[in-house]
Amino acid sequence: MKRYLLVKVFAWFWLTIIATLLLLLGISLLQPDVVETKKISRSMLHNLQQLEQVLTQVSQRPNFELSNIAKLRKRKARNIYLSHRVREKSIAANPRIKALDLDLLSFTEDTKPLAIYTPEYKAFGPLEATLNNDNYRLYLVFENHTPSAIIKLRALPLWAKIAVVLGASLLLCFWFTRNLLTPIKALQISAAKLSQGDLSSRANIDKKRQDELGQLGHDFNLMADKLESLVNNQKRLLADISHELRSPLTRLQMATGLAAGHATKDNQGYFERIEREAQLVENMLGDILHLSKLEADQIPIEKQPIPLNELLDPIIEDALFEAQQLSKQFFASTIPEVTLNGDAMLLNRAFENIIRNAIKYANSTINLDIQSTNKQLLCIIKDDGKGVSEDMLDKLCIPFFRVSAARTPEHNQKGGFGLGLAIAQHALKVHDAHIEFTNNVGLQVSIRIPLYR
């Protein structure tokens, strides 16, 4: 695999440096001509002092003219500039120095010697010199071959340089990280949806993207396609098998009924046992087909306003009777006068499965607590059984999943097939409801359903 990200990081690094320098240069060019001053070096100050002594000595010679200072046998003599308060009396050893804009030196006339940098030249001075009974200020002036942009850049205030560097690097880093994080965010969202059961979720990543992140998104989508295909094939296979088994099961029940009519007292119990087991298989196949249709959205949903008391009163009445038969107590809070928007059959099946499940595994008490707000209905069903281990709570709605002995029925009870809670979850899901399992003495099931408006 090509290292596209390495190339991008390398290009981003140099792009940040180049862009920052160009931005600094651009901002510095917006400045007017500036003068930069620094502390003069000792060697240059020594040169100025030597030249001042030589000029003082030669100016005392008869017939010496200051205009001839360029002929002095001293190094840097051609760089001498003698500034006078009367501009016409100022003297430059080199005509090229005279052509420079030396007025920028005027602000240094009353200061100690400095190193002065302008876009055209660099000067060192001033040093007071009395020549021919007149006062001058001695400078050494050199033409500046450094580009003016660099000089202006150096003269830019430190805070401005820091602000430009931070601003440019921040913008470029934001652009670069956004380019990297966008596909990662898309993968994160898609993976979260996939973990919640949305098998149609795919990472929204540009197919033209050829780097490692683009390849990761492509591989993720391939994995999601395979996963969706495997799960759908498994559901289809389970539904097909269940459908095909119903015909021979029906014939078996008919044959058992006919045979039971000719059975003797000794073998009558065996036929009754066969009928009970066949009925269990019939119930299981019915649940499997119902769950398969729910998962495939093949059950027509007829949502309509349903008063909550009309939905729950029959279920609570049946629960009270069933709990009484098992010597258990069932308590229900007052049903609030609210209205749900949904399919009555599916909601009835969901609440009935969850409540009967609580009755089956409770030791002695089952509680149904119903609360309502302006936006949602909260129903809490809890039992005082042995509960479920924490690592098993999120698996309770998996079809055919059976927990350890903590939730296994007693010997005199008929164990389920692990389909009731799965059906309840899917029935609630189509109503935008949420189901949550926690341990509170026994198992606690919390159902949150949006209220009808």
**What is the pLDDT at residue 412?**
43
Token duo for residue 113: 């010697």
Strand partners for 443: 439
Of all helices (H) and strands (E), which one includes residue 199?
A: none
**What is the pLDDT at residue 411?**
40
**Cα 446 to Cα 42, 262, 382, 393, distances in angstroms:** 85, 51, 9, 12
Structural fold of domain 304-450: Heat Shock Protein 90 (3.30.565)
Q: Is the pLDDT of residue 142 over 80?
A: yes
Distance of CA 394 to the CA centre of its chain: 25
SS3 category, 1: coil
- Fold agreement between 32-155 and 304-450: no
- In terms of pLDDT, which residue wins out, 28 or 187? 187
Q: What is the tens place of the pLDDT at every residue in 296-354?
A: 665 667 778 888 888 889 889 988 988 898 899 999 888 888 888 888 888 888 888 88
Q: Where are the alpha helices (DSSP H) in 300-370?
A: 308-325, 344-361
Order of all β-strands in the sheet with 365-372:
329-332, 365-372, 376-383, 442-450, 434-440
Of all helices (H) and strands (E), which one includes residue 141?
A: strand 134-143
- Are 281 and 248 in contact by the 8 Å Cβ rule? The answer is no
**What is the pLDDT at residue 347?**
85
| Range in 20-34, 201-215, 403-417 the model is least confident about | 403-417
Q: How many residues does the chain have?
A: 453
Mean predicted confidence (pLDDT) in 369-386: 87
- Are 145 and 166 in contact by the 8 Å Cβ rule? The answer is no
Q: Is the pLDDT of residue 129 over 80?
A: yes
- In terms of pLDDT, which residue wins out, 70 or 406? 70
**What is the pLDDT at residue 293?**
64
**What is the pLDDT at residue 334?**
87
**What is the pLDDT at residue 452?**
62
Among the listed residues 436, 453, 363, the one whose alpha carbon sits nearest the alpha carbon of residue 396: 436
- Are 208 and 233 in contact by the 8 Å Cβ rule? The answer is no
CA separation for the pair 109, 137 (Å, rounded): 7
Token duo for residue 179: 């380019």
Quickly state the pLDDT bin for 414 (edges 50, 70, 90).
Answer: very low
Q: Is the pLDDT of residue 426 over 60?
A: yes
Give the CATH architecture of domain 233-295.
Answer: Orthogonal Bundle (1.10)
CB atoms within 10 A of CB 354: 23
Q: Is the pLDDT of residue 370 over 80?
A: yes
Q: What is the tens place of the pLDDT at every residue in 227-280?
A: 888 877 777 776 677 667 767 777 777 877 777 777 777 777 777 777 777 777
| Long-range contacts, 243-246 (Cβ 8 Å, 24+) | 243/289, 245/281, 245/285, 246/282, 246/285
Mean predicted confidence (pLDDT) in 84-94: 83
CA separation for the pair 262, 274 (Å, rounded): 15
**What is the pLDDT at residue 83?**
85
CATH code assigned to 32-155: 3.30.450.210
- In terms of pLDDT, which residue wins out, 446 or 343? 446
- How many Å from the N-terminal Cα to the C-terminal Cα in the chain? 56
Per mean pLDDT, which of 40-44, 98-102, 103-107, 423-427 is the most reliable?
A: 40-44
Q: What is the tens place of the pLDDT at every residue in 19-69?
A: 888 888 777 767 666 677 888 888 888 888 888 888 888 887 777 777 777
Handedness of CA 92, 97, 98, 100 (dihedral sign): negative
Q: Is the pLDDT of residue 223 over 50?
A: yes
Q: Where are the domains of the chain?
A: 32-155, 233-295, 304-450
Strand partners for 383: 366
- In terms of pLDDT, which residue wins out, 65 or 172? 172
Q: Under 8 Å CB-to-CB from 141, ≥6 apart: which residues?
A: 79, 80, 81, 92, 97, 100, 102, 121, 122, 123
- In terms of pLDDT, which residue wins out, 410 or 108? 108
Is pTM beyond 0.85? Reply is no
- Are 389 and 396 in contact by the 8 Å Cβ rule? The answer is no
* DSSP secondary structure, 265-277, as one string: TTTHHHHHHHHHH
Q: Under 8 Å CB-to-CB from 285, ≥6 apart: which residues?
A: 242, 245, 246, 249
Quickly state the pLDDT bin for 408 (edges 50, 70, 90).
Answer: very low
CB atoms within 10 A of CB 23: 15
In degrees, to the nearest 5, what angle opens at C-alpha 300 toward C-alphas 298 and 304?
150
**What is the pLDDT at residue 295?**
62
* DSSP secondary structure, 30-81, as one string: TSPP--EEEEPPHHHHHHHHHHHHHHHHHTTSTT--GGGGGGSSSTTGGGEE
Mean predicted confidence (pLDDT) in 426-440: 82
DSSP 229: H
- In terms of pLDDT, which residue wins out, 194 or 300? 194
- What share of the chain in percent tops pLDDT 90? 2
Q: Which residue in the block uniquely carries the two structure tokens 């003269």?
A: 155
Q: What is the mean pLDDT of the chain?
A: 79
Identity of the residue numbered 277: E
Q: Is the pLDDT of residue 406 over 50?
A: no
**Cα 362 to Cα 238, 349, 383, distances in angstroms:** 31, 20, 5
